[in-house]
Amino acid sequence: MIVFLLYVAFFCALAVYDARHAKTVRGFFVNDNRSGSIQVGFSLIASCVGGSATIGMCGLAWKVGLPAIWWLASGAIGLAFLTLTLARRICRTRALTMPEMVKTHLGPYAMPVMVFVIWVAWISILAAQFSAMSRIVSGLTDWPLQRSLVAGAVFITFYTLLGGQTSVLRSDVVQFLVLLLGLIILLAWVCFHAPVAVWENSDWRLLNDRFTLSRWTYFMLLMGGSYIVCPMLFSRFLSARSEACAFRAGWLSVFGLLLTALVIVLIGIGATRILPPGDGSGDAVLMTLVGRMPAVFRVFLALAMMSAIVSSADSCLLAVSTVLSNDFLKRPALSVTRACIFVVSVFAFCLCCMGRDILGYLLMANNIYVCGVVAPVFIAFCFRRKLQPVLAAASICVGGILGLASELIENPIYSYCGISASILLAVAAAFSGSHEPDPVPPDRLDSAFGKE
């Protein structure tokens, strides 16, 4: 318990300190557009590798083997595509949020629908992080899961509410390095204690009978698609000081995600040598391994995973709250944004109490978001088209509803139909619309390879 309290005290003190330097809306939202490549790149990695990757992905690897790497590898592919196509242009806009960048492209009907879909989807993602946080806190304090859930949610909310983007970016570099070191230590321990070497008698195929082509397609569309148009990732590129900085940060994060995915999957595969195979949720696999380590390593690993969860949860919470205040309420004041942070946290906490496992939260969120929002936003922004307003709104609504139906009915065909319908409607809206050049501020006409 003492370790957890010291951890909370440290990051809360950091947030209080950063709150003194985040007194403007631009500072709280995008760190005054002054972040460097290393800071943005590591923050992108830390934001993507949260409780879903550290706990859920390890459990999936325990069940299906190497194909679990597609959890983050699909995201790395989506992030690479985002970096190649949009990273420079995102940084150039100097917008505060992703919806602000495309509001003139989508029209008055689609904007509130998009904000609502983002709100629903990102609350699900935040609930997944709260759920993962409760397991870590429970392991450190011996509290029951419900009390640990409350403690973790309160900490994440308070920390984000105070420091905003400034403290998030400042802490992400250290948090990711601590996480990576902890995972490498855990992998070394698993390899040393496994009765059979991890690389012996293992199936190293990227697809197998437990993870088929249809499931790979599902991950590529749902996981990978969410990285192409993502308000959380867009906010990182918006924080970069130049277009060249954003471009380099994107590639740094792609390679960092692949490295992290490989380490986590190897831990999960190694766990099959130590833990007996079985059915049911694999969410407890990683924590079970940590529980068998010596006390010093056990505490360090718990703090490393807590850092991963905090760095992802605060980014998610900040992204959806800034969208609500700036693009839905049209009041991007710090007091309003902080109130939105509190409200979003309450909703995510309630959703977390429903008891779904971590992978379920993520897939539910991605179903709704990817099926509804990715196609119209990407087409509008990448091709500089002002979409026909009614068709643009229909693209988001139809795709999002079919994505939600896929989750509720548990039939992936609805997700494929939702994505297809959203793309077709967005393309029709683009052909029915007009060309809309990007508004480029005079002070942002720097070259993609200009000075930082």
Residue-wise pLDDT tens digits, 225-263: 889 999 999 999 999 999 999 999 999 999 999 999 999
Confidence at residue 442, expressed as pLDDT on a 0 to 100 scale: 41
Confidence at residue 295, expressed as pLDDT on a 0 to 100 scale: 83
Q: Between 366 and 427, whose confidence is greater?
A: 427
Task: Give the integer Cα–Cα distance in Å for 119 and 108.
Answer: 18
- 340 pLDDT tier (thresholds 50, 70, 90): very high
Average pLDDT on 418-434 reads 90
pLDDT reading at 288 higher than 50: yes
pLDDT reading at 279 higher than 50: no
Average pLDDT on 278-282 reads 55
Confidence at residue 362, expressed as pLDDT on a 0 to 100 scale: 59
Task: Give the integer Cα–Cα distance in Å for 128 and 404.
Answer: 17
Task: Give the integer Cα–Cα distance in Å for 265 and 246.
Answer: 28
Helix (H) or strand (E) holding 291: helix 285-291
pLDDT single digits (tens) 177-217: 888 999 999 999 988 887 776 667 777 889 998 899 988 99
Reduce the DSSP state of residue 281 to 3 states and report it: coil
Asked if 241 contacts 34 with a C-beta cutoff of 8 angstroms, the reply is: yes
Helix (H) or strand (E) holding 226: helix 225-228
Confidence at residue 443, expressed as pLDDT on a 0 to 100 scale: 44
pLDDT reading at 83 higher than 70: yes
Q: Between 76 and 406, whose confidence is greater?
A: 76
Residue pointed to by tokens 């990576």: 180
Reduce the DSSP state of residue 58 to 3 states and report it: helix
Residue pointed to by tokens 């992703």: 98
- 360 pLDDT tier (thresholds 50, 70, 90): low
Please give the DSSP secondary-structure letter assigned to residue 293.
S
Two structure tokens written together for 231: 């308000």
Confidence at residue 304, expressed as pLDDT on a 0 to 100 scale: 87
Confidence at residue 80, expressed as pLDDT on a 0 to 100 scale: 96
Please give the DSSP secondary-structure letter assigned to residue 410.
T
CA 348 centroid distance within chain: 15
Confidence at residue 399, expressed as pLDDT on a 0 to 100 scale: 92
Strands 434-435, 385-386: parallel, antiparallel or unpaired by DSSP? antiparallel
Task: Give the integer Cα–Cα distance in Å for 369 and 401.
Answer: 10
Q: What is the pTM of this model?
A: 0.87
Task: Give the integer Cα–Cα distance in Å for 1 and 389.
Answer: 54
Q: Between 117 and 95, whose confidence is greater?
A: 95
How many CA atoms lie within 13 Å of 415's alpha carbon, on the beta-carbon side?
26
